[in-house]
Amino acid sequence: MQKVTTGDMQYAGTWDHIYVTLFGTEGQSERTELDNFGPDFTTGTVMIVKLDLGQRNGFCLCILYIYFGVEFWYFSKIVVTTPEGDAILFPCYRWISRGELVALRGGKVLFSNFLCFFRWRIMAEGLPHINHCDNASELPAEIRFSKTKTTEIDDTKRRMWLNYHDHHVVSNLFKNILDISIAILPEYVAKHWKEDDFYGSQFLNAVNPNVIKRCSELPPNFPVTEEMVKLFLEEGSSLQKEMEKGNIFLYDQKKMDGIPPRAYNGEPLTVTAGLCLFYRNPENKLMPIAIQLHQQPSEQNPIFLPSDPETDWLLAKMFIKNADSMDHQAVHHLMNTHFLAEVYTVAALRSFPVIHPLYKMLFPHFRYTLHINTVGRKSLIGPDGAFSKVCLFKIYISEYSNYSNYAFDIPNSNSTIYQMKILNTFVFVFTSFVKAVVEYYYASDSEVYKDTELQEWISEIFTHGFLGNKASGFHTVEEVIKFITMVIFTVTAQHAAVNSGQFDYYSWVPNGSLLLHKSPPTTKGQSNMNTILETLPDVGETVSFVGMTRLLSETYTDVVPMGIYPEERFDEPAPKQMIKEFQAELSYLSEEITTRNSQLEVPYTYLNPAEIENSVAI
């Protein structure tokens, strides 16, 4: 007897002819049409069918065939109950196309890898490799966006175009755009973006919070003197004393030095490799106190101070935020989450059979990643994109050339003590879950070493993701736990931290833009408000930019929150219980964060588990 379950998502059902064949150690069953009275495979249906299996047993493979039907059918699983009462799970959880033969693997035996659809492709020398598809339509159906999500994205685009187009020519553009959405934080940003304490807080609590470092000694190329900054320090203190107390922080964008200008409508757009000095004052506010817009000091590269003319200081802060936005999107968002997630995903699809326990654990965290990356590359990388391949190559080499350990540590943070507590809690919760699952399947280091599919996965990651930086291979259970914890953290919490707040902080474009039209100032006292307006993107560019951040920050109906595994892939009770305990820990953390946020003027929601998606899906 077998139980066949179709998906419960929209557009998943079919009324077409479905056939099944079971294979066991002693032969195979006859090909049988799955047919009961009534609509067999409408959305959410569970069908029970009896098959004459004779004396055959040891079933480990199931072949499905859909004939003369609609274009796609979403199929969940088959559970085969033997005459002895044993239940064998054959998970599918994918879209099946008309005329397709689908082999499902069941039981507890690990099989050799099968011929994989996915191939690697080089996007540019020196960058992580990508999947071979040029368009999302070339991806297998189970990898692509659902019809529900595609419909909602298209609808969001239409609504944004209509709303923003209606406000395209009004003089007070920014406020009108914000009035379209019920968004409290963007309104707060629009009101406070010029203020130094809010500017500093964004380097702790906004979309790029891990870029400042405590400064105990000024770099020689940033000649800030005591006389320059003493007005902005606590009375009676000094720069040296505050560095000794740990109250001085440095933002150094030297990785952007030498990045070639990007052409935009024929004009070169220079990104400044600047430095910004911050002071944590007695009120525990992080204040910018000195800015140099290029790496090498000179008469044409003055150090700007809060005491300079208002528009001079504002321009200096805008150019630092421009470089920060480029660093955020290119490194911390695109490369550190999207690109790495794609490497992990393609390597898993090429290396693991679907019955492999680590595939079952990891695949829900790779949902939609290949689709969003394939679509996003066209708009982000190219002649009219925000980044060129040359730009990404130079940043990537600067960022990753010094990595020596494949089990990368989860990023350290210079953020608030509470955020550090959240990050540490995430590490503990993730590690506990991964440790429980991995140790259930790998009782010893020798079992790790002998798992050729696991070894193939990490080898592919290093060959195609980190470009053979170091000889790869897992030797211990502990190494597997650490690496998989890092993978899950990257595609969930880390991606949420750098993605979810984009509309909040970037929809007010003066607060942070990838595009500034004028060159950085080289002298003081030559700017005014017209200079600010000429530097900012024009109306059309602003509308496009705000629309993009809105699209990336939207919540869609078929979102899967972190830790939720709607697809039943494990059939053993133990890992099912581990998932429940993992979900309970995340729920507790979510309640704690929600309670704290209710007391804050500017809540930090991006690391709330209830707000984090289970994969890099947008």
Counting DSSP H helices and E strands in the chain, the numbers are: 20, 18
Q: Which of 615, 127, 7, 124 is nearest to 370 (CA)?
A: 615
- Annotated binding-site ranges for Ca(2+): 13, 35-36
Q: What is the DSSP string of 329-398?
A: IIIIIIIIIIIHHHHHHHHHHHH--TTSHHHHHHGGGGTTHHHHHHHHHHHHBSTTSSB-HHHHHHHHHH
- Give the integer Cα–Cα distance in Å for 369 and 339: 9
104 near 78, Cβ under 8 Å?
Answer: yes
The DSSP code for 466 is S
Q: What is the DSSP string of 305-332?
A: -TTS-HHHHHHHHHHHHHHHHHHIIIII
Query: What is the CB-side half-sphere exposure of residue 333 using CA atoms within 13 A?
Result: 25
- Give the integer Cα–Cα distance in Å for 30 and 21: 6
Dihedrals phi, psi of 245, to nearest 5 degrees? -80, -10
Helix (H, G, I), strand (E, B) or coil at 278: strand
| Whole-number Cα distances in Å, 161 to 33, 164, 177, 451 | 48, 5, 11, 52
- Give the integer Cα–Cα distance in Å for 534 and 539: 11
Helix (H, G, I), strand (E, B) or coil at 553: helix
- Give the integer Cα–Cα distance in Å for 345 and 81: 32
- Give the integer Cα–Cα distance in Å for 474 and 449: 6
- Annotated binding-site ranges for Fe cation: 333, 338, 495, 618
598 near 122, Cβ under 8 Å?
Answer: no
- Give the integer Cα–Cα distance in Å for 262 and 265: 10
522 near 304, Cβ under 8 Å?
Answer: no
- Annotated binding-site ranges: 13, 35-36, 333, 338, 495, 618
In this structure, the chain runs to a length of 618
Helix (H, G, I), strand (E, B) or coil at 178: helix
